[in-house]
Every structure is written in structure tokens, then in C-alpha cells.
Amino acid sequence: MGRLTMRASTVRAKSSRDPFAHVTYGAETAEYATLVLEPPDRLRTSAVRLRLVIQLEGVTKHYPRSNRPSVEDVNVFIDKGEFVFFIGPTGAGKSTMIKLLLREEVPDKGTITVGETDVTKLRRWKVPAYRRSIGCVFQDFRLLPNRTAAENVAFALEVIGKPRSVARRVVPEVLELVGLGGKEHRYPHELSGGEQQRVAVARAFVNRPLLLLADEPTGNLDPDTSIEIMRLLDRISRTGTTILMVTHDSNIVNQMRRRVIEIENGQIVRDQARGVYG
């Protein structure tokens, strides 16, 4: 641990903006010991802590007719710009939480507020508009196979009725941001897993959502590529986007040292500001 801290200070000297800046590629790349992630510096964080983005109060959801994981009296408050890890064993209820936040499910009890929206009282027809304020990234990328990277990103704009001129302007920018400049016209099968996930992140981020939900975004990626994706998410988090990431990757959690919320049997057993996987 001491070694890590020391490393962190040297890294800070190099670049205070990119926690992955020191990660070198090649032989040492997979060496996690060299990957040191600093938490965002305190001043910055307090500056963006203007309001709560997520409030879960006494949220309970049971599935009486199936053995899907339920959640029991969950209370979570997450600020704007926070980066939060959701950890816990399979079946603990993490994905149910994501479903509740996406309003794919409605809780039995309790209230969920995202931004200004009371999700529990949201009318059905208002759900699409609500989802536009949330970006989503998944383990399996969920790209359209018959569309290029740029078209996949543009699709998110297209289906919510943004004019084509907006897509022409915004899509290249976002792809550049996620590091896919020059690969706009590749199809998903012509991209590596990491690149496909970058497209997915670009699509989630293109509408500048308030909240980005990432359900095991590195689950299908090798360690190197995972680091790249984490670096990308970190950069996005620094733009003020709240990120909620479900993960089983202990290395990432341990080295990012961000807020960790651990769930077990549908209940929060730990909520730690700069937690480790544990």
C-alpha cells in the first residue's frame, strides 16, 4: 500500500488529469502494481458536489414468482459527478438496482429520484424521455452489427429525433473523445472488444447524460483493455457525469479508490468513500 501511495505522488506530478497517464504499454502493461489511480482531488470534487443525482430511499423490490434477486430497504444517495462502484456476489441484487434506476422495474416500496425526476411516479409514456438522461454501457456492448461505429452512435441521436446536422457535428467529436478517431466507418466486427466498448461508451455519452450506468463494462475485456476503458470512464466522470459501475473486477476497484457500495442479499452491507474491493 505504501508503495502505491508513493507511486501516486509521482504520478500526480506527471499528470493530475489522467490517472492512467503513467500506464505504459508493452511488457509491463499487465502489471497492476504499476497502475495507480488517484481519486479526483478534493477541491474539484467539492466544487461539483452541487446536488444529489440519485436518491434511493427505502427501496424494496421482490419478485414473488421468480427467484430473481430482490432488494430490501436500500438507501443510497449519490452526488453529481461521483464515481461509484457497485460490488457484491452474483445474485445480490446489483442488476435489479440498475433495472430500477432505468425504470425497467418499479419498486414495491420506497422512492427513487434521479436528477429532478421521481422515477417511482413516472408515467409510462414519460419513460423514454427519462431514459435520455441516462447513458448505459453493458458487458456485451450491445451494438448494432449492421451499422458502423459512427452510425451506432448516430442511432442514439436519430431515434430521439435529433436532426442529422447535429449527428454530423457531434458524432465525430465523441468518437474522437473515446479514442476512435479514424475508425468511424468500421463495423463492430472489424473492431476489437475494447474498441467496441468505446463505441458503446460514445453512444452512452453522446447525449451528455446526467448519469452513466455501466453494468460490468470490463467483464468481457482483457486487463489492458479494461484499463483503457476505465481511463475513459474516469475522463467522462470528470466532465461532471455521475457514473455508477457494477463490477466484479477487484483490481480496478482497488486501484481506482472510489466510493464502493457493497450489496449482499439485496441489502447494502458497506458504503465506503474510498473503498477497496474487500
Partner 1 sequence: MRAKYVMSEVFLGLWRNISMTVAMIITMAVSLTMLGAGLLLYNQVDVIEEYYQTNLEVVVYMQRDVTEEVSEKIGEELRASPYVKQAQYESQEEAYERFQETFAETKDLVDSVDPEVLPSAWRVEMHDINDADQLIADFAEREGVYQVTNQRDILQEVFDILGGAQRLTLVVALVQGVAALMLVANTIQVAAYSRRREVAIMKLVGAPNWFVQAPFVLEAVFAGVIGSIFAFATLIAAKFLVIDGQFSNLFSLMPPITMQSILILLPILTGISAVISAITAWITLRFNIKV
142: left (phi over 0), alpha (psi -120 to 50) or beta: left
Q: Is 121 in the site for partner 1 (CB under 8 A)?
A: no
CA 149 to the chain's CA centroid: 20
Residue with Cβ nearer partner 1 (122 or 276): 122
Residue with Cβ nearer partner 1 (162 or 248): 162
Q: Is 161 in the site for partner 1 (CB under 8 A)?
A: yes
CB of 139 to partner 1, least distance (A): 14
Residue with Cβ nearer partner 1 (130 or 277): 130
Instruction: Check: CB of residue 201 under 8 Å from CB of residue 236.
Output: yes
Q: Which residue(s) pair with 213 in the sheet?
A: 136, 244
Q: Is 127 in the site for partner 1 (CB under 8 A)?
A: yes
Q: Is 136 in the site for partner 1 (CB under 8 A)?
A: yes
**Candidate list 57, 70, 72, 130; residue touching partner 1; CB under 8 A:** 130
Q: Is 125 in the site for partner 1 (CB under 8 A)?
A: yes
**Candidate list 51, 65, 124, 169; residue touching partner 1; CB under 8 A:** 124
- Contact region for partner 1 (CB under 8 A) — 72-80, 122-130, 221-229, 238-246? 122-130
Instruction: Check: CB of residue 106 under 8 Å from CB of residue 277.
Output: no
Q: Which residue(s) pair with 228 in the sheet?
A: none
Distant-in-sequence, close-in-space partners of 167: CB < 8 Å, separation ≥ 6: 153, 154, 157, 158
Which residues inside 192-211 make contact with partner 1, applying CB under 8 A?
203, 207
Instruction: Check: CB of residue 88 under 8 Å from CB of residue 96.
Output: no
For the window 52-91, what string marks contact with partner 1 as x by the rule CB under 8 A?
Answer: ----------------------------------------
26 burial via Cβ count (<10 Å: 0-12, 13-18, 19+): exposed
CB of 230 to partner 1, least distance (A): 22
**Helix 193-205 vs helix 149-158: crossing angle, to nearest 10:** 20
CB of 69 to partner 1, least distance (A): 20
CB of 164 to partner 1, least distance (A): 5
Count of chain residues binding partner 1 (CB under 8 A): 25
Give the other-Cβ count within 10 Å of 57's Cβ.
Answer: 16
Which residues inside 206-265 make contact with partner 1, applying CB under 8 A?
207
Termini Cα distance of the chain: 14
d(Cα 218, Cα 141) in Å, to the nearest integer?
10
Distant-in-sequence, close-in-space partners of 165: CB < 8 Å, separation ≥ 6: none
Q: Is 131 in the site for partner 1 (CB under 8 A)?
A: yes
Residues that bind partner 1 (CB under 8 A): 102, 124-125, 127-134, 136, 142, 144-145, 155-156, 158-161, 163-164, 203, 207
